Amino acid sequence: MKRTGTIIILALIVIAFVFGIRYLYLSDQKDPVVYTTEQAATRTIVKKTVATGSIVPKEEVLIKPNISGIIDEIYVEAGDQVQAGELIAKIKVVPNASSLTNSKNNIAGARTAVETAKLAFENQKSIYNRQKALFEKGVVSANDFDAIQNAYNQAQQRVKQEQVNLQSAIQNYDIIKTGTTSGLGEAATTQVRSTITGMVLDVPVKTGNQVIEANNFNDGTTIASLADVDKMIFEGKVDESEVGKIKENLPLEITVGAIENATFDATLDYIAPKGVAENGAIQFEIKGTLKKIDSATFIRAGLSANASIILQRADSVLAIKEALVQYDPKTKEPFIEIEVGDQQFERRPLTLGTSDGIFVEVKDGITKEDRIKVWNQLKPGTGFSRG
């Protein structure tokens, strides 16, 4: 039994020895690693972060009526250019029967009050004339006549006040019935006019729609939205991991998906002080004002856009691929290996600058003529790197 076990162990040792010799032999037959080299080149390196968003007007104005009613006519449509004061729509007032009846009753009451005041005035006028004649003859004292004259003046003033009240009641009736009245100008009107010069972005109502006036208790119905499309901004959001890298007044490069091969310059002028949770991440709103746009290019409000926020920029500098840089395991200092002979390399320390994640600026350590070892090149015929 012991003899059989010993034989098996010896056989396994022999087999392992044979396979070991074969492995060493095949390893010696492999081609040695031949490292390729690359050279530095002059590049412009831009370090940036990207925000997604859209292009919107800097100021959008909502046109609302100052009287409730039904849209009678609309004079503009989306895309039209309008001037401040230009007519946009006309409103037809549909009076409330109860309000109209109450207004009629108020007019009747005001007319009665005017007639009553006139009668009182005529009576007071007669008394005044009699007392005046007696006062001139010395029969009535000055104090008594002053009281009579004061009563006469008050009666006259009361007539004027009641006439004003009557006119006000008539105007209220006209407003309820037609939406406007003489003497008020634009304070109460069925004509809706533009308050700015710009482009009509949207007309959310149609002829026949009911609209509500804007007041302290209601925002009112929007008849049209207008904006100056020559003043546009980028409005987007950045992640909390990026917001610490940006600051106001940084340059932006805006690309719009709907406009190919075009980049628009902008300046970052707003970063929200408070983030908002969206899809499990905190997002911060940013805004950037677009610089003057070529008149031949029209950017429609609401178009999706991406903004590249330029964090750092190095123009026309000596640069190499970031992948060529190695780091000392102890000091963490960057270095590269320069070819000094056939497959012979020398280590050389570097001073690095701006990096965009692919290329990095080299401030000191190499020249354009130096051939840099590709230390992490792929092993031929495999997908694995060899160091």
What fold is seen in the domain 63-90+193-227? OB fold (Dihydrolipoamide Acetyltransferase, E2P) (2.40.50)
Tell me the mean pLDDT in the region 48-63.
90
Residue 273: what pLDDT? 93
Domain(s) of CATH 2.40.420.20: residues in the chain: 37-43+316-373
Q: Has residue 74 got a pLDDT over 50? A: yes
Distances in Å between the alpha carbon of 256 and those of 74, 261, 306, 380?
33, 9, 7, 42
Going by CATH, does the domain composed of 97-178 fall within 1.10.287.470? Answer: yes
234 forms beta bridges with 55, 288
Average pLDDT, whole number, for the chain? 81
Higher pLDDT, 134 or 185: 134
Domain(s) of CATH 2.40.30.170: residues in the chain: 49-57+229-314
Among residues of the chain, what percentage have pLDDT more than 70?
82
- Please write the tens of the pLDDT for every residue from 366-379: 888 889 888 877 65
> Helix, strand, coil: what percent of the chain each, to 5?
30, 35, 35
Domain(s) of CATH 1.10.287.470: residues in the chain: 97-178
Domain(s) of CATH 2.40.50.100: residues in the chain: 63-90+193-227
Whole-number Å distance between alpha carbons of 308 and 50: 5
Token pair 């925000």: residue:
51
Residue 234: what pLDDT? 93
Residue 203: what pLDDT? 93
Residue 181 one-letter amino acid: T
What fold is seen in the domain 49-57+229-314? Elongation Factor Tu (Ef-tu); domain 3 (2.40.30)
Question: How many degrees, rounded to 5, is the angle at CA 279 between CA 275 and CA 280?
Answer: 70
What fold is seen in the domain 37-43+316-373? 2.40.420
- Please write the tens of the pLDDT for every residue from 178-213: 555 555 544 446 788 999 999 999 999 999 898 888
Which tokens go with 4? 């059989």
Higher pLDDT, 287 or 30: 287
Among 20-24, 108-112, 249-253, 344-348, which is the least confidently predicted range?
A: 20-24
